Structure 1
């Protein structure tokens, strides 16, 4: 397979040019053959007519006197041989060769031409028949003149070979101009290649189209779009790393301080208390790490390459409720589910939707006081959207800070309440990646918090 673009383009141009030259040369050759035939045939016919005009009656018998001019017209530097025959309709030979290689048809009205072989040489022949009268008697006389074809071949070469040479020169010139043109026209794309090759490894600035041709500009546009997506991903990764480093520093510092305190502790009875504090700090750090990983996955789900499949939310919500029922029981919270549909299908990732529901219900359980109520609802709206609601009768969120709860590490909670401030940020990333919307509100009485998530419905697989 040819991998060179320059060579492939050259072949695409060379093939039709070669076909054109071949067809044009063939037509030129045919035209040259016709012209050479015409020149030779006219000379043969003129000679035959001149000879036929010299056939006369003398003393009641036909005689012929061959004029030198009838044969001198065939003189050429190629030394062609000329043969002739004058024959009466009773096969009486008046002049010429008796072994002339052409049979005469005395009924001919127009001159007849033929190409044959005589003495191992190609011979062009014309036969001409005329009427001869004598005292009311009609006789027919046939004159045949033949000439070898060395002069014909020479004339043919003179007619078509120069045209062939011109066509070949034009083809070679076209190839040279195409090669030069391709080399010059490919320079802009080579400059783009050089710009990419000389860049720093961490440089993600867009490429400059410069003098790039209109047909090649979409390549640079596509590369720049890819660079933009890379910039977005790199920015997300940098922000994640910075957030993780910042947020993990505090629990790690706390654990280190608790370990130092335990090493300096002289009272063994206080050791269990210190170990419990260490365990709580470790759990908090584990929870924070899991939240950060969920956030990273949620951000990655915005990519078109992220795998998606139909997910059934009614069953998934019931599964998440089962996992959190123990937390609700510890706080004596009435945790339930209300749905008017048996199935609700959306497109996405089961792990991410499970994380979304887990964060929404977990937040509701954490901020709802004991003996409160948390209700999860799943419904369909106009058979176009799936509506997920998580409602509680807790303290709610003031209207002026509802948008801020989607910010990373923002916590609208009391100081003694645990949390990383990432739950709602994770939920928003997942909802946006699924082309949905999320709204924070209250119940009909303006109390508690109701989170409403709307997701596009998809067909059941």
Structure 2
């Protein structure tokens, strides 16, 4: 695996360009061979025709006088050897070599070219047939001319090598330009790298795109979006730590004062009273700590640490009511569930969903006076047409609606949004509670893509907390 971007891009360019140069050079070589061969063949044919034109009847017999010009046209710095043969159709040799390396076929009307071996080297040969009349009798004479290939090879090199050099120069120039271009164009990215490397660990300011190329700007934008989310998460964590420290400071101070006071007492009855107060304070701190932990988990409920799966709200609600039945009995509160459906499936985390129901019902039990009534309702309803976030499938158009109704003092309409804030309490100072229950509920509901609203019953007394969650289908094979 090649990790270098320069080398990878260079390979993307080098491989096809090398293939192109190879194919182009092969074509140039073939064209050069054809061109050199054509030039040599034309010279051979011109020489053969010139010699054939000198064949005449002298004293009743054919004779030939080979002109020097017929052979001088082959003169070149390559010093090629030139061979010829003039042969009558009765195998009479008029001139040249008897062992000429070409078998003549007098039936060929067109010049014949061949490249046989002669005296240990290749020879380019042409055979030309001329008609010769003797007192009305048709005779045929064959003129064959051959030349070694040194000049042919020299001409081939002169035609082909410049084209090859141009192709190689073009390839090297492309490689150099790619390396230089990448070095220049990657400078903005390297500047961003240097900026990140020199930053303070706690610096979360967005990156500056500057003169970054259009194709690379989405990377910087994605990093800036991540920085914003990270900054928001850090703000939440800092606020959580500050709120937790503030809320824990007071009960710890009270417990410390009670311990100091108890150390000065000798009366067992008074000491027992102080110990009882310490026990109550410890329980309140335990409850506050648990709520803070639940709030922290609710804020992180979108992470992979809280996997989601189809859950039956009716089944989970029944379990939660069983756990809170003791608290309801101690306060003589009529706690019950009135579901309109046997099953109501949502996609979520079981611990988070149980915590949401626990806080909703516990909040209602805390603020409902003795001999009051708290009712949990579960129903199915069409999803809102606007702003709805539902699951795909047959259940996409439905929501699971969870209502917790009590006949307590209720919450005034002007403060119903504020009760979802952390540590905000709409209760008497001496009434127990941490002010975190509804804040936890809202975080879990939002993480489950749902919504929560508070309203008053039709008779105006008490409170109705309504949670809407997108409905999903039951798991395969259920039931």
Q: 1:418 aligns with which of 425, 432, 436?
A: 432
The TM-score normalised by the length of structure 2 is 0.94
Distance 1:356 1:260 in 2: 39
Distance 2:96 2:332 in 1: 137
Q: Which runs of 5+ in 2 are unaligned?
A: 383-396
In structure 2, the residue matched to 1:66 is: 66
Residues 419-442 of structure 1 show CA distances to partners (whole Å, capped at 9, x for unaligned) of 001101111111111121111112
In structure 1, the residue matched to 2:456 is: 442
In structure 2, the residue matched to 1:210 is: 210
Residues 50-97 of structure 1 show CA distances to partners (whole Å, capped at 9, x for unaligned) of 111111112222111111111111112211111111111111111111
Distance 2:429 2:48 in 1: 129
Tell me the CA shift for residue 414 of structure 1: 1.8
Q: 2:469 aligns with which of 443, 455, 459?
A: 455
Distance 2:155 2:453 in 1: 95
Distance 1:79 1:330 in 2: 124
Tell me the CA shift for residue 304 of structure 1: 7.4
Alignment of 1:337-416 (within 5 A): 337-382=337-382, 384-416=398-430
Distance 2:92 2:305 in 1: 101
Distance 2:9 2:293 in 1: 51
The TM-score normalised by the length of structure 1 is 0.98
2:99 maps to 1:85? no
In structure 2, the residue matched to 1:274 is: 274
3-state SS in 2 of match to 1:113: strand
3-state SS in 2 of match to 1:109: coil
Alignment of 1:282-297 (within 5 A): 282-297=282-297
Distance 1:411 1:205 in 2: 36
Deviates more, 1:262-271 or 1:112-121: 262-271
Residues 386-414 of structure 1 show CA distances to partners (whole Å, capped at 9, x for unaligned) of 00010111111112221111111111112
In structure 2, the residue matched to 1:118 is: 118
Moved over 2 A (4+): 302-307
Question: Aligned pairs, how many?
Answer: 461
Tell me the CA shift for residue 294 of structure 1: 0.6
Tell me the CA shift for residue 362 of structure 1: 0.7
Distance 2:473 2:232 in 1: 32
In structure 1, the residue matched to 2:265 is: 265
Tell me the CA shift for residue 302 of structure 1: 4.1
CA RMSD of aligned residues (A): 1.2
Distance 1:9 1:285 in 2: 62
3-state SS in 2 of match to 1:28: helix
In structure 2, the residue matched to 1:166 is: 166
Distance 1:400 1:81 in 2: 115
In structure 1, the residue matched to 2:247 is: 247
